[in-house]
Amino acid sequence: MVVVDGPFFGGAWEEDTIYYVKGFTSGISCVPAGGGQSRQLTSPGSTPEDRAHLWPSPFPHNTGMIFTVWTGRTFNEARIEGLLFKSGQRKVLIEGATGGRYLPSGHLAYTRNGTLFVVGFDAERLEVKGTPIPVIEGVMTGASNGDADFAVSNNGTLVFQPGTLTSFQRNLVWMDRGGKATNITPEVKPYASPAVSPDGKHIALTLEGSTFDVWVYDLERDALTKVSFGGDDYQPLWSPDGKMLAYSSSKSGHMQLYLKHGVLQGEETMLTDGPETKALYAWTPDGREMIFGRQNKDTGWDIYALTVEGDHKVRPLVVAPFNQGRAHVSPDGKWMAYVSDESGQGEVFVQSLSDPNTRVQISTEGGTDPRWAGHNELLYRSKTRLMSVKFSPGGELSPGKPVLLFEDKAAWTGYDVAPDGRLVVVRDATDNAAGTQINVVLHWFEELKQEQQK
């Protein structure tokens, strides 16, 4: 059973229940470990400082959980909250913390600025007891997502990755169809979601620091310019004429779609409303509509089209009792590729935009992030592989067999196809699987008892 296919911001397993966070602003959900219907436990957005719920840690027997709440500022200013499922009580436990874990020793552990703290905790009453104690300095903590790299077993063994509070280390690169990578800039930054302008001269992207913002990289001048302000901003996409930039943002309190006129300067228009979380996927080639995802309470993620001008009319494209998303429209405007988990894992499908009954599954062993590379070729990711599918010319939907272009074991955080056919890719600057040090502390609960007795 595939629980999450894509960005992942926390998961835990307690008895017969799996807790998970599928997207940064999606809230916390749970699903039976043996399979079944998922259930939403929390939904962020109740206040301007209730931006995201991350890193759930359940209590014994699934009575409740603690989790990190991102406030829109640095994760040193996030907070740990608790939730009791039966009563629905939700309470702030620790201000200025991230990556909280419930410990069976009767403690709550968390990090702040790369230091691991522990404090006594009563899970039944959602009460912190005593004063937090710093126990280990130098624990790897994500400045971009609040991930605290430590874990504790039920018998008291602590494992952690040494490090500090740091952002993702990623490169912005060109890649050819054989997988050869060439740095676009030597600077290592928390890049994400690159999108090449129609003239091939600029790259819009997200920088995932203590806040998420949209920037534009000028390839000729080798310069980055910030273009979004006031919220956590994601998924920038150029209009087909290159004169406007759309993106998703939570600046209104809920994740909505925005359109920036003039790109570097100019007014902004909020295109959507309502409390549901939205994600921007694509423009239609004529520039009249945007394709986006909306997380619905009953059906999960579904795909819609939005009229850019006028009254911003919304029409459904794919609405079904599964999760559909990551859509991309072919250059001729006839076909839409997207990802659906209806088979139990994410697979790529292509559907006619004029006839929703004309549809075919493209990937066969899992697939995500489809991108059209011309009228008759579709690329997609399958785990660490980049795949290509060719289509026969003409009006019928007739895909060929998926073909491996190359494999890249470095993690990607978005890619796009440039006008000249090259790929612009955000990939990890280092191989996280190699050279990672893990420290192990045995009988750690005994050390905690000694600390409390001092």
> Is the same domain home to 150 and 274?
no
Residue pair 45/37 in contact by the 8 Å Cβ criterion: no
> Is the same domain home to 374 and 411?
yes
| 154 in any annotated domain | yes
What whole-number distance in Å separates Cα of residue 444 and Cα of residue 203?
Answer: 48
Tell me the residue type at 353: L
> Is the same domain home to 282 and 147?
no
Low-confidence residues of the chain, pLDDT below 70?
1-7, 210, 430-435, 452-454
Q: E strands of 262-384, at which residues?
A: 268-270, 278-283, 289-296, 300-307, 314-318, 324-329, 335-340, 347-352, 359-361, 368-372, 377-382
Residue 421, number of CB atoms within 10 A of its CB? 11
> Is the same domain home to 40 and 183?
no
> Is the same domain home to 175 and 140?
no
| 189 in any annotated domain | yes
| 261 in any annotated domain | yes
| 3 in any annotated domain | no
Give 368's contacts (C-beta < 8 A, 6+ positions apart).
5, 6, 326, 339, 346, 348, 380, 381, 382
> Is the same domain home to 223 and 250?
yes
Give backbone dihedrals phi and psi of 51, rounded to 5 degrees, phi first: -80, -40
What whole-number distance in Å separates Cα of residue 286 and Cα of residue 283?
Answer: 8
> Is the same domain home to 327 and 405?
yes
Tell me the residue type at 171: N
Burial class of residue 15, CB neighbours in 10 A (0-12, 13-18, 19+)? exposed
> Is the same domain home to 303 and 423?
yes
Q: Residue 276's closest CA among 310, 319, 244, 239?
A: 319
What whole-number distance in Å separates Cα of residue 132 and Cα of residue 272?
Answer: 43
- Total domain count for the chain? 2
> Is the same domain home to 264 and 131?
no
Q: What is the dihedral of CA 376, 184, 290, 304, to 10 degrees?
A: 80
Helices (H) and strands (E) in the chain, counts: 1, 41
How far are the Cα atoms of 43, 51, 59, 275 from residue 46, in angstroms, in the given order? 8, 8, 24, 9
Q: What is the pLDDT of residue 51?
A: 82
| 95 in any annotated domain | yes
> Is the same domain home to 423 and 439?
no
| 371 in any annotated domain | yes
What whole-number distance in Å separates Cα of residue 194 and Cα of residue 237?
Answer: 9
Residue pair 423/181 in contact by the 8 Å Cβ criterion: no
Q: Residue 341's closest CA among 321, 320, 323, 325?
A: 323
Q: What is the pLDDT of residue 433?
A: 44
Tokens read off for 41: 């436990």
What whole-number distance in Å separates Cα of residue 24 and Cα of residue 5?
Answer: 13
Burial class of residue 353, CB neighbours in 10 A (0-12, 13-18, 19+)? middle
CATH number at residue 118: 2.120.10.30
What whole-number distance in Å separates Cα of residue 290 and Cα of residue 280?
Answer: 8
> Is the same domain home to 360 and 218?
yes
Residue 396, number of CB atoms within 10 A of its CB? 9
What whole-number distance in Å separates Cα of residue 304 and Cα of residue 317?
Answer: 5
Tell me the residue type at 311: D
| 374 in any annotated domain | yes
- pTM listed for this prediction: 0.77
Residue pair 281/325 in contact by the 8 Å Cβ criterion: yes
> Is the same domain home to 376 and 242?
yes
Tokens read off for 2: 């595939």
User: Residue 446 sits in which domain range?
Assistant: 11-166+434-453
Give backbone dihedrals phi and psi of 445, rounded to 5 degrees, phi first: -60, -35
Element (H, E) at 234: strand 233-238
| 4 in any annotated domain | no
How far are the Cα atoms of 140, 227, 388 from residue 6, in angstroms, in the given order? 22, 26, 19
Q: What is the pLDDT of residue 169?
A: 87
